[in-house]
Amino acid sequence: MRFSYNKLWKLLIDRDIKKKELGEMANVSATTIAKLGNGGNVNTKALLEICNALHCDIGDIMEFVPDDEPTDKASSNAHKEAEI
9-31 pLDDT tens trace:
999 999 999 999 999 999 999 99
Q: What distance in Å separates the CA atoms of residue 2 and residue 23, rounded to the nearest whole number?
A: 23
Nearest residue to 8 via CA among 82, 61, 64: 61
Signed CA dihedral, 48, 49, 51, 52: sign only = positive
Sequence letter at residue 62:
M
Counting Cα atoms < 13 Å in the Cβ hemisphere of 81 gives 17
pLDDT of residue 75: 56
User: Who wins on pLDDT, 76 or 62?
Assistant: 62
Q: Is the pLDDT at 77 greater than 90, yes or no? A: no
